[in-house]
Amino acid sequence: MTSLLHGLIWGLVIATVLLTVAVFSIWFERKFAARMQSRYGPTLVGPAGVLQLIADALKMLQKEDIIPQKADPVLFRLAPPCTVIITLAAAAVIPFDENVLAADLDIGVLFLLAVSGLIVFPVWIAGWASNNKYALLGAMRAVAQGISYEIPLVLSAMVPVVLAQSMRLSDIVSVQAETHWFAFWPLGPGLIAFLIFFICSLAEANRIPFDIPEAESELVGGVTTEYGGMRFGLLWIAEYLHTLISSAVAAAIFFGGWDGPFAPGLHWMVLKTFAIFFMIFWIRWSLVRFRSDQLMALCWTYLLPLSLLLVMVSALFVHYRVVNA
Amino acid sequence: MTGHEAQEQFVALLRERFGVAEIPDGNYPLIDARHHFELARVLKEEFDYRIYSFVVASHHLATADANNDGADVEAAHYEVATGVRCVGAPAHLASWRVRIELDRAIPTLFPLFAGADWQEREQYDLVGVRFDGHPDLRRLMMPEDWEGHPLRKDYAIDTACSPWR
Amino acid sequence: MLTRAARVDPHLDLETYDPGADLMALNLGPQHPSTHGVFRIKLYLDGEIIVKAVPYAGYLHRGVEKLCEELTFIQIIPVVDKNDYVSPMMNEQAIAMTCEAMLNIEVPRRALYMRTIFAELQRLASHLLWLGTFGMDLGGAMGGGASLFMHCFRERETILALFEEVTGCRFHYNTHAVGGNRHDITSKFSRDTKTTIEVIEKRIEEYVQIFSSNRIYRDRTQGVGVLDGDLAVSLGITGPLARASGVDHDLRRDAPYHIYGELDVNVFTESAGDCFARTLVRLNEMRESIRIVREIIDSVPEGPILGMRPGKSPTHIKIGAGQHYTCLESPRGELGTYIIGGGDNRGASAYRLKIRSPSLHAASCIPYVFPGHTVSDAIAILGTLDPIMGEVDR
C-alpha cells in the first residue's frame, strides 16, 4: 500500500514539475531563438512574455477537434497522450538528489533506455493513423531514425554503467561523486561517449538537425500534419519533455548529477540539466537538417562502430583497475 | 563579332537561304510557315543560337474592307514571333514572325529547344494556336476544363466564369 | 537508387516504367511551406526516390497580359510590378525599355545611372531574400534556417529603406516611367547607400562562411540537382542558374543596356551545376552588385530624369503598329517584354504584350532535374531554382 501511495505521489510530483518546466523551457527557447535572430520574441503577455505559453495552451485547448474522416478512430486519438505518458515514465529513475528519486531500480539504466525506446511507437502510430501521405513519410522516417539511433544511444550509455559497474542510477552518481565525473575521467572514452549520447538523444527526440520526421519545409507537418489543437500540443510537449529528460540523464550519468560543492545537490542537478538543454537549443537554431540517407549513414558508419569501441575501451580501463582502484 | 555584325549575318542568312526579300529595319521579318523549323534548326546548329528566348502568339481578327474594293482585306490569322539568342557576346537575338490561318498548325520547335514544350503550351492555352508534333499540347495556365482562349481578340476581358467547380 | 540518365525523359510513361515498383503519387503543393508561392508538383515516388515529377503552374495566373491590352502604357507599370514581386524594379524597367525603344525616346544619363543603381540594389535585395528562404527550405522554419532567414531579411530591410527614401514605397514602386524615372535621388541617398552596402558586405562574408564551412549545408547542396548547361540553354534558362552550369552568358556584359556598357561587369560561372554551385554564383553576384553600386553611386551626372515632357492624360504615350522585344538581366535571368503596338485608343494600349519571365523557364526544368532525387533534395533544388510564382503565372 505504502509503495503504491509512494508511487502515486512521486508520479504526480514528477509529472507536474516536469510538465511545468517543459512549458517554461519553451518560453525560454523562444526568447533565446529570438535573440539569436535579432528580434525580441514574446514580450506582451506577462513580464517579458513569460505567460505566453499559458496563453498558447489556452488557445490550443479551445480549438476545434478535427479528425480526418478516414483516419483510424482509435489510434489517432491514442497516439498523442501515449507519447507524453511514455516519456514521463522514463523520468521515474532520474536521481534529483542523494536519495531523492522516484524509483531506485537495480536496472535503472536498462529501464530508462527500454522505455525511451518505446517512444518511437506512438510517433509512428500517429503518422500511420492519420491516413495522410505526408504523415506516412514522416512516420517511416521516424521509425528508421528512432530504431537506428537507439543502438549507439544504448552503447554509449553503457560506458558509465561499465565504469561504475552498476546499472543503478544512484550508484552511478555516487561513484562519480567519490571519484571523478565520467565525462572527464577517463579522458577520452567518457567525453566521446557523452557526445555520442548527446547526438543520439537529439535524434531520438527529433530535434534539428535530426528532425526529418516532422520536417516542416518538406513534409508540411510530417507526423503531426493532421493533428491540431491540444493533440498537437501534446505531441509538441512530448518532444520537449523527451529532450529535458535526456538532458537530465546525461547530466546524471556523465556529469555527476547532484555532485558539486557549496550548493545543495538539487541545484547542481538543475544547473547541469539546463546547461545541456541550452546546448540543444543553440544547435537547433543554428543548423539545418540532414537528409534521411545522410542521417542513416552517420549513425551506422560512424556512431555505431565508435560506441562499440568505447564500450570495449572502458571495459579494459576497469579491468586494469585504472578506474575504481 | 559585334551585335551589328551578327545582325548582318542574320539578314544575309535570311536573304540567301530563305528568300526573304523585305526585312523591316533589320528585325522581326515575316517568314513563310514552311521555313519556320528549318530556320530555327540552321540557327541552332550552324550559328550556335542555343538559348531559347521567347515565343509569342497573337490573334488578329479579319480586317474590315475599308474601301469596299476587295483590297486591304486580311483573313483572321495568328502571328507567332520566335526569338533565339546566341550564348556569350554579342548575345544577338535572332527573331522572326510567322503568320498562319486559324485552322492551320505551326510546326513545333520542341525537337530543337526543350523550352518550347512549356512556352508553346502557354501560347496554345492563351491564344489557341496549335503546334504540330508537340508531345503534350495541353493547357498550362488555365484550368484543364476551361473553355476558350483568353488572349484572343474575340474573348472579352469580363467573360463570365465560374471559379467554383 | 535510380541511376540518372544523361537526359531524363520528362514525359515518362509510368504504365511501362516498372510493374514491380509500388509508386506513390504525392502532391507537393499548392499549399506547402516550401513551394515559393502557389505551385503544384505531382511527385511519383518509389519509396523516397522521385521517379517522375509533373509541375502544374497557373495557380497565380491573374491575366496580366490581357489586362495590359486594356490599360494604357502609363497604367501598366504598377501592374507589372506585381509579376516578379521580389524584384519589382526589374519589371518596370523592362516595360519602360521596350516602350522607349519603340518610340525612339532617349533616356537622360542621370536616369540611366539611377536605373543601374536601382537594378543592382534590387538584385542584392532579391538574392538576400533568396538566401533566407533557401535556408528555411533546408532547415525548417523552426530551426537554423529561420535564423539565416531573419538575418537576411534584416539586411534586406535596410535596402528597402533606401528605396523608400527615394520613391516612398518599400515595395512596388511605380518609379520608372517611359522616358526615365519619376523620383530623383538626393545626396542623402548616396550617403545612406554607401553606409548600407558597407554593412551588407561584411555580413555577406559571414554567409559565405556558413555555406562553405558547414558540413551539413555542403552535404545537402553538393551533387544535388545537377543541371546540364546544354539542357539549361535549350530550356531558355539564363541567369545564375545557367551560369552555375557553366554557361558564360550575362546580358549586362554581352548585350549592355543602361550604363553597363561603360562598366566592367564580372560574370561568375561554376561548372558543377548543382545547388552548391548556384549558391556560390548568387553569393558572388551579391558581392559584384555591391562593387558596381559603390563604383557609380558618386558619379551620377546632373540633369533631367525624364526624357520626354510628362503628359497630363493617361493616354499620352501612344505606340503605333510594329513590334519590339527588349530584355534585361533580372536576378533570375533574361526578363523581357514583347510589345505589339497599335492597340485600343489609337495605340494608347498595347495590341499584345508578352512578358518573357525567366522563372517560367526555370520551373520547366523540374521534370528533368527532379527524378532520381529524394523529397528532401527536391525541396533544396526548388529553392535554388528560385521561381517567383507571380512571374511564372503572371
Q: What is the DSSP track for C173-242?
A: ---EETTEESS---HHHHHHHHHHHHHHHHHHHHHHHHHHH-HHHHHHHTTSS---HHHHHHHT--THHH
Helix A2-36 with A229-254: angle, nearest 10 deg = 100
**A99 exposed, middle or buried (CB, 10 Å; 0-12, 13-18, 19+)?**
exposed
Residues of B in contact with C70 (CB under 8 A): 157
Inter-chain CB pairs, A–C, below 8 Å: 97
Are B53 and C327 in contact (CB < 8 Å)? yes
Please calculate the CA angle C246-C251-C256 and round it to the nearest 5 degrees: 145
User: Which of the pair, C36 or A25, is modelled with greater confidence?
Assistant: A25
* CA–CA min distance C3, chain B (Å): 22
* Strand-pair partners of B25: none
Pick from A145-154, A261-270, B94-103, C265-274: least confident: A261-270
Q: Give the integer Cα–Cα distance in Å for C281 and C384.
A: 11
B34 phi/psi in degrees, rounded to 5: -70, -20
- pLDDT tier, C2 (very low <50, low <70, confident <90, very high otherwise): very low
Question: CB-based contact (8 Å) between A43 and chain C?
Answer: no
Interface of C with B in 205-234 (CB under 8 A): 230-231, 233-234
Sheet of C40-46: strands edge to edge?
Answer: C24-28, C40-46, C49-56
Count, residues in chain C? 394
Q: Give the integer Cα–Cα distance in Å for C153 and A50.
A: 27
- Do residues B133 and B110 touch, judged by C-beta distance below 8 A? yes
The three-class DSSP label of residue C52 is strand
User: Which of the pair, C120 or C343, is modelled with greater confidence?
Assistant: C120
Q: Which pLDDT value is given to residue A81?
A: 92
Q: Which pLDDT value is given to residue A215?
A: 66
Nearest to B91 among C236, C255, C364 (CB): C255
Residue-wise pLDDT tens digits, C283-329: 999 999 999 999 999 899 999 988 888 778 888 888 888 889 999 99
* CA–CA min distance C362, chain B (Å): 10
pLDDT at C356 over 90: yes
Are C216 and A289 in contact (CB < 8 Å)? yes
Q: Calculate the average pLDDT of chain A.
A: 86
Torsion sign across C-alpha atoms A73, A74, A76, A81: positive
pLDDT at B160 over 80: no
Residues of C in contact with A208 (CB under 8 A): 139-140, 142-144
Are A287 and C143 in contact (CB < 8 Å)? yes
Residue ranges covered by each domain of chain B: 3-66+73-107
- Do residues B1 and B90 touch, judged by C-beta distance below 8 A? yes
Q: Give the integer Cα–Cα distance in Å for A209 and B10.
A: 56
* CA–CA min distance B141, chain C (Å): 4
Q: How much is the pTM?
A: 0.90
**Could you tell me which CATH number the domain at C64-356 has?**
1.10.645.10
Count, residues in chain B? 165
- Residue numbers of chain A with a pLDDT score lower than 50: 325
- Residue A96: closest CA among A14, A161, A28: A14
**What subunits touch chain C, counting only 3 or more CB pairs under 8 A?**
A, B
Q: Which pLDDT value is given to residue B65?
A: 62
Question: CB-based contact (8 Å) between C171 and chain B?
Answer: no
The nearest alpha carbon in chain C to B55 belongs to C356
Q: Which pLDDT value is given to residue C6?
A: 46
**Test mutation, C142, C151, C206, C217, chain A, max A CBs within 10 A:** C142
pLDDT at C122 over 90: yes
Across residues C354-380, what is the average pLDDT? 90
* CA–CA min distance B70, chain C (Å): 22
Stretch (H or E) spanning C153: helix C144-167
In the structure, do chain C and chain A come into contact, i.e. share 3 or more CB pairs under 8 Å? yes
Q: Which pLDDT value is given to residue A216?
A: 64
In the structure, do chain A and chain B come into contact, i.e. share 3 or more CB pairs under 8 Å? no
Across residues C142-160, what is the average pLDDT? 86
Q: Calculate the average pLDDT of chain C.
A: 87
The three-class DSSP label of residue C51 is strand
pLDDT at B145 over 60: yes
Residue ranges covered by each domain of chain C: 4-56, 64-356
Q: Which pLDDT value is given to residue C1?
A: 32
Question: CB-based contact (8 Å) between B124 and chain C?
Answer: no
Across residues C236-244, what is the average pLDDT? 92
Q: Return the exposure string of C31-53: e unless at least 16 CB atoms fall within 10 Å of the residue's CB, then b.
A: ebbbbbbbbbbebbbbebbbbbb
Q: Which pLDDT value is given to residue C5?
A: 40
Across residues C60-64, what is the average pLDDT? 90
pLDDT at C11 over 80: no
Q: Give the integer Cα–Cα distance in Å for A280 and A240.
A: 11
User: Which of the pair, C17 or A248, is modelled with greater confidence?
Assistant: A248
Cβ atoms within 10 A of the Cβ of B18, count? 17
pLDDT at C113 over 50: yes
- pLDDT tier, C198 (very low <50, low <70, confident <90, very high otherwise): very high
Across residues C164-179, what is the average pLDDT? 90
The CA distances from residue A28 to A40, A201, C140, in Å, are 12, 20, 20
- pLDDT tier, B72 (very low <50, low <70, confident <90, very high otherwise): low
Topology of the domain comprising B3-66+73-107: Beta Polymerase; domain 2 (3.30.460)
Q: Which pLDDT value is given to residue A309?
A: 92
**What subunits touch chain A, counting only 3 or more CB pairs under 8 A?**
C
Q: Which pLDDT value is given to residue B70?
A: 60
